[in-house]
Structure 1
Amino acid sequence: MKTIASHIDPSVIALALDQSFNAVLLTDADEGEHRILYANQAFLRMTGYREDELLGRNARILQGPATNPEVIDRLRQCLRDGTHFQGSTINYRKNGRPYTVEWNISPVHNTAGEITHFISIQQDISSLMAAQNTTQLFAHVLNATDDGVVITDASGTIEFVNKGFEKITGYGLTEVLGRNPSMLKSGEQDPECYKDMWETLKKGRSYKGTFVNRSKNNELIYCDETITPLTDQADNITHYVSIFRDLTTRILEEQMFREMVRFDGLTGALTRAAGELALEKAYMQSRGSKLPMSIALADIDHFKHVNDTWGHTAGDTVLKAVSCSMIAALRANDSVIRWGGEEFLLIFNGCDLDQSLPLAERCRKAIQYNQHEHAGCITLSIGLGELQPDEALPDLIERVDKALYVAKNSGRNQTQVSRR
């Protein structure tokens, strides 16, 4: 039976093999020798040998120190058995440089079914192996960092996340592949932030910002994030790479610190520093809006006697109770500031004297009717004043302080109003 190849001129077959992209090697079937009978141009280019340096020799001349002996043993067994072989290992060029080869060897039978030759189709896969090694190294490096890394395609579909992402968000790789990073949105972020982000990225520029995301266990995550668009040779965006660092612990600590600085640890009232800022803000708002503003200075009567008689622990208990009572008695937009040792400054936003006097009296009476262990009944003396159109803030405070002094000297447990 004639095959298609039998109708083709052998010179055409030889020409085709010589122009083949893959390396082709033909050896005889003499066991133990397997002498090279033919090597095409691709094989010569791959190995660096001339044809006359290969013909009649065994292909073992290509082997070297890094050649895998197990692969060679398997190859020899296949040759002995007359079966097909497929494998890869490291061979060496004529100049001694190694390369990774992948090859298939098949037996060639004559019309009687006898094996007469072996033909080997080979390919240098060094670049492919290097690329795979680089990819593995790249993934290893990304997984070694504690920062989260997300790679998406141009439409925002997640294609890769590293171990840092899993640690920060709680989501595993299989849970996020094919999804969009918007799955992490917490709802706490200003929508304008995302609008600005996309406007920047669509221009091919990197975007850096702090995002409030939500983890798998529904906790807020504060992330310092940099998103970079990747482009092809035609400057078309193909991917986005996001690298983010978990700032949650630091931000929560800062918030806690700010709260500690803002509020007096004993009384829960604003500290003097935070109170001065609140007072300045109320003053500027009153000036800008033309709305009234009143303040009061409240001082605990005979507080020194409480400390001297019952000790500072009893005094601290009284301070805390007085502050809590005043905060509870006032409106949400009023402020209670620990102005001095046992002195508190109260801010009544949007209130004139007629409106602020009942508030001040409400505070005083709330304190008067409370009984304290050891100290008994505690009272307040209060000075109250309304900001005047041409009055500076220090002048208002001084005027209210004088009203407090009058309340003290007039029998205590009362509110004195300063009218200008």
Structure 2
Amino acid sequence: MTEITLPDGQRLLDAILEQAFNSVVITDARFDHGGPLIEKCNPAFCRMTGYPAAELIGQSPRILQGPETDPAVIERLRNCLHEGRFFQGATVNYRKDGTPYNVEWNISPIRDSQGAIRHFVSLQQNITARVQAESERNLMARALNVARDPILITDAHARIVFANQAFEQLTGYESTEILGRTPKFLQSGQQADDFYSLLKDALARGQAFRATFANLRKGGDIYYADQSITPINDAGGTVRHFVSISKDVTHKVMQEQQLSEEASRDPLTGLFNRRTGERILARAHQAATTDDRPFAVLIADIDHFKQVNDQHGHASGDRVLQQVANVMKNQIRETDRAIRWGGEEFLVVLDNASKNDALSTAERIRAAVEAISDFEVGPITLSLGCGQWQPVESPEALVRRVDIALYAAKKSGRNRVQTAANGSATGPGDAVS
């Protein structure tokens, strides 16, 4: 076996200094004659400063200072040395050729057996690259913060790592409240059922996703944003972050919704108009056939309405129509839809309703209208037909069946409800007002 002989203490210290990754400089502990002065430095320190060791030995480390060296840091260093305390700090030093570099260093006092300080040992590291990277990050953060559009950045797991000031202003949330959370807390529940599935699928394929989001502000009100979400990959192609850039379009969307709402409503009664009603019927039929969600239909007609117009004028007729429409609104559920089907005729689509549900609702509407007594026209009454959708029945066929029931109610004396018979519809027969 080969015997390994360790070098003596001095040789071991020299070997450590020679091979150390960090810059090491050792000074004496004298403060006269411009000290402390450098007694030893390793090659890493020479490479960092650009000075050969021969030009550093016997010099004060002050030769590395320059215009951008922080005086406050140097003053704190002097105080620590005089008081024999450990020092740690960072500032700007200068190489032999005059180029600046950022240095981070610590200094420890070395004491003899009696406790007297004989040397100072300093470990130093060039942190220029780190400072520049931090400066660039800070510059980027400042640039993002002055951007007018809300910007949100998440990590690969959708946890928020940055939100700019425009995002804070739009949502009402401060960055400190949302960092580390996923954006799920912004969801309003108003998006289509497959909206977020499409979002996840696009991002999983590495594609950007753009859509109008209906999100919640901190106070609970909804805002609308045209939002693009883009995956950011590293050099190896792995997704590391997602960047979302938004534009507040709440005012625009609200205007469009208002215009759409106005276009879908009957201006006199405020109920849905017939064109919209036909779409409502089609959607109810689709839900019934694909989701097994049955629905029912009521058709109501104001009794003797022609006489109201003939005897009291159209202004009174309009007032009666409005009174009946208000009863409709108040007597149906939020999920049901009341439609002015034409003239004095109304149609109600009852969501997820049985035949008995339809009959009960129709009777409730009839009784509520009967309780009205217009100051000029007097008592008002309705006749109604009702029926539940049957499998394989088209919306048009259901309406015809219920319409036959309505006319049966008219012929039976008015102010009553008639349930539609099962089977195919034929025709309403003679018109009855």
The question of a shared fold, defined as TM-score above 0.5 by the shorter chain, is answered with yes
Secondary structure of residue in 2 paired with 1:120: strand
Please, which of 255, 258, 275 is the counterpart of residue 257 of structure 2? 255
In the other structure, the counterpart of 2:270 is 268
Q: Give the Å deviation of 1:7.
A: 1.8
> Aligned to 2:202, what secondary structure does the other structure show?
helix
- Residue 33 of structure 1 corresponds to 34
Counterpart residue type for residue 20 of structure 2: S
1:388-407 deviations in whole A, cap 9, x for unaligned? Answer: xxxxxxxxxxxxxxxxxxxx
The Cα of 1:368 is off from its aligned counterpart by: 10
Residue 121 of structure 1: SS of its match in structure 2?
strand
After superposition, residues 207-286 of structure 1 pair within 5 angstroms as 207-213=209-215, 219-220=221-222, 222-245=224-247, 247-248=249-250, 250-270=252-272, 275-276=274-275, 278=277
Per-residue deviation, 1:218: 5.2
Partner of 1:398: none
Q: Could you say which residue in structure 1 is the equivalent of 2:64?
A: 62
What 5-or-longer segments of structure 2 have no aligned partner?
1-5, 290-296, 350-364, 383-427
- Return the match for 1:147 from 139, 147, 150: 150
- The separation in 2 between residues aligned to 1:76 and 1:329, in whole angstroms, is 86
Range with greater deviation from structure 2 (258-267 or 181-190):
181-190
Q: CA separation in 2, counterparts of 1:208 and 1:229?
A: 12
Q: Please, what TM-score do these two structures have when normalized by structure 2?
A: 0.61
Deviation at 1:178, TM superposition (A): 5.0
Distance 1:328 1:59, change over 3 A: closer
User: What's the counterpart of residue 100 of structure 1?
Assistant: 102
- Aligned-residue offset at 1:54: 3.4
Structure 1: gaps spanning 5 or more residues? 350-362, 381-414
Note the C-alpha offset of 1:124: 1.6
- Describe the shift of the 1:306–1:54 C-alpha distance in structure 2 as closer, same or farther (beyond 3 A): farther
Structure 1 residues 369-380: aligned runs within 5 Å: 372-373=374-375
The answer to whether the 8 Å contact 2:321/2:344 transfers is: no
Q: Matched residues in 2 for 1:97 and 1:124: separation? A: 13
Contact 1:153 1:238 in 2 (8 A): yes
Determine the C-alpha separation between the residues in 2 that align with 1:27 and 1:119. Answer: 7
The verdict on how the C-alpha distance between 1:216 and 1:348 changes in structure 2, with shifts beyond 3 A counting, is closer
Q: Confirm or deny: 8 A CA contact 2:38 2:58 kept in the other structure.
A: yes
Residues 1:119 and 2:115 are matched in the alignment: no
Q: Deviations over 1:161-196 (max 9, x none)?
A: 526655555666566555544455555444433333
Letter in 2 for 1:261: A
* In structure 1, distance between residues paired with 2:279 and 2:272: 14
Equivalent in the alignment of 2:22: 22
* Matched residue, 1:388: none
**Residues of 2 paired with 1:151 and 1:56: CA distance?**
53
How large is the Cα RMSD of the aligned pairs? 5.4
Report how many aligned residue pairs link the two structures: 364
Tell me what 1:89 maps to: 91
Structure 1 residue 224, shift from structure 2 partner: 3.8
For residues 417 and 191 of structure 1, what CA distance do their matches in structure 2 show?
Answer: 46
Deviations 1:215-272 (A, max 9, x none): 665555545443333333333333444445555554344323322232244421445x
Q: Deviations over 1:369-415 (max 9, x none)?
A: 965445668999xxxxxxxxxxxxxxxxxxxxxxxxxxxxxxxxxx9
The worse-fitting range, judged by mean Cα deviation, of 120-129 and 164-173 is 164-173
Alpha-carbon distance in 2 for matches of 1:112, 1:296: 109
Instruction: Report % sequence identity.
Output: 35
- TM-superposed deviation, 1:14: 3.2
TM-score by length of 1: 0.63
CA 1:139/1:334 → structure 2, altered by over 3 Å: closer, same or farther? closer
What is the 5 A alignment of 1:315-354?
A: 317=319, 320-321=322-323, 324=326, 336-337=339-340
For 2:200, the equivalent position in structure 1 comes to: 198
Q: Describe the shift of the 1:73–1:325 C-alpha distance in structure 2 as closer, same or farther (beyond 3 A).
A: closer
Cα contact 1:264–1:338 (8 A) shared by 2: no
